[in-house]
Structure formats: structure tokens, C-alpha cells
Amino acid sequence: MIDLANIRTLAEKELRDALRNRWFLVFTIAFAGLALVLSSLTQPGGMNLRTVSYSRTAASLINLVLLFVPLIGLTLGAANLAGDRETGALIYLLSQPVNRVEVLLGKFLGIAGALLATLSLGFGLAGVVLSLRGGIQDSGGYLFTVLLAYLLALAMLGLGFLLSSITQRTAAALGGSLFVWLFLVFIGDLGIMGTVASTQLPIGTVFLIAVLNPLQLFKIASILVIQANLEVLGPAGLYASDHFGGFLLPLLIGGLVLWIFLPLLGAVILFGRQERLVQRGKTNP
């Protein structure tokens, strides 16, 4: 049986520890600073700053989210269990009246809370600046982009925990997370373009391959929310709009939700199986 009180206690502890982590502070300052910079642009003809609309700011923040959020989510999730395993903190924690599923869920929820708080601060500061300067006409699209960023952050955090449940050492977990980040951010896009150029796949197949990447799910959904069409994505975007119509955005959001739960479910299964293997080893001399 899972004790929700244990999960809440562990989540609160992880949240406090994460907020005191200097790397979290650095990430928060960097993300908030860049979000503020992107919320203002210099006029070509002078030194005055002008505030752009919510939609243009959200469009600029898409690339920022695609670089920062997967990296921080993957590394935090991957380093958590592996780091506690190396220091012995995990053994001490499991000696308490808690099981591995409660430990993993508590850790995930605690770090997720800190990560979402960081994103909220960055997006919130940019939104406040825009509001004070009168750029509130497109706030709905901006807020929806923030929600999509939350989903992407949780998906990457769950994937990081899956890596951490597989590996035994922090260095291996961090190395794996960096490889996954590079693959999703860079190799994924380049691989799709190379495949299209070399094999001339149908546009529908190219689109389906693209949406297997959670970063592409976020990117396409964000563009759809901001611009209401996918013409900027070329033939693949037009194909998606023509074939899925109004169902496209719910499908993209559903894909991001699956990317949250499937890696987390895999981490729970693997981590819980490790507990059963340990117990079996104790009962079989």
C-alpha cells in the first residue's frame, strides 16, 4: 500500500532541498533574466526600449524553453536517485518505514514543485513587465505557452528519473541525461531533416516521426497557440492542420501528458523491482 502522508513528507523535504540548491538559484536567475530580456527589444532607430506583445514574447521564449527546460529537468531527475545511492542517503531513507514507490514519487513531486516555481518566476516577471507597459492583448496565448512549458518540464523530469533508476552512479546518470538532451534538441531535428532529404518520405510520415519527440510536441503546440496555424513549419505543418484540424492541439497536449506518465511509470516499476530483488536476496542465503 502507498502512504500518501509519506509521499507528502518526502516531497516537502525535496522541495526545501531543491530551493536551497545553488544550481537551482543559478538556473532561476538565468531563466528569469533571459525572459526579461526577451520581453523588451531595442528599436532599430534609437536606444529606447519597447515592449513587444505577449505573442511575440511567447514566440521568443519557445526557443529558450527548448534549450533550458529539458536540460535542467533531465539532469535534476537523473542526478537525484543516483546521487543519493552513491552517498548512502538512499539506503538510510529506505531503512525508514517507506517503500521505494513512495520515495520515488515523493522525490519527483518535490523537485517538480521547485522546477515549476522557477518557470513561474521567469515567465511571471516577463508577464508583469509586459502588463505594466500595456502589452496584454495576447495574454491567453502567453499563459497557454507557460502551461505547455510546465508539461514539458514534467516530461523531462520523469525521463531523468527513469535514467536515474537504471544507472547506479551519478556520472553515468548525468552522462546519459546529457546525451538524451543533445539527441532531443539537436540530433532529433537534424536527423529528421536528413531522413527527409535522403529518403523523401511522405509528409505524413515525417510529421509522425517529429511528434515522437516531446520537444517537437511542445514546439508545434506552442506555435499553434500563438499563431493559430502551422504555416511556418512548411508542408508538415499544413499537413497536420489539414488532417487533424481542431483535434490537433488536444492530441499534442495528450502526447506531452503521455511523456510525463510513461517514463515515470517505467521508473516506478524499475525502482520497485529493485526493492523486490533486494528482499529476495535477503530471504535466500
- Show pLDDT as tens, one digit a residue, over the chain (285 residues): 788 888 999 999 999 888 887 777 888 888 888 877 777 653 344 444 444 455 666 677 888 888 889 998 999 899 888 888 888 888 888 888 888 889 999 999 999 999 998 889 888 887 777 777 655 556 777 788 889 999 999 999 999 999 998 888 888 889 999 999 988 887 666 556 566 656 666 777 777 777 888 998 898 888 888 765 666 566 666 777 777 777 888 999 999 999 999 999 999 998 877 654 444 444 444
Q: Which residue bears the cell 531527475?
A: 77
How far lies 35's CA from each of 69, 84, 114, 148, in Å? 13, 33, 18, 16
Predicted local confidence at residue 61, as pLDDT: 80
pTM, two decimal places: 0.86
Predicted local confidence at residue 79, as pLDDT: 87
Which SS3 state, helix, strand or coil, does residue 118 take? helix
Q: Which amino acid is at 187?
A: I
How far lies 92's CA from each of 20, 78, 89, 97, in Å? 21, 20, 5, 11
Predicted local confidence at residue 223, as pLDDT: 83
Please count the structural domains in the chain: 1
How far lies 11's CA from each of 21, 123, 153, 161, in Å? 15, 24, 17, 15
For 176-189, b/e burial (b = at least 16 CB within 10 A) is bbeebbeebbeebb
Predicted local confidence at residue 275, as pLDDT: 53
Q: Give the residue numbers spanning the domain of 192.
A: 4-283
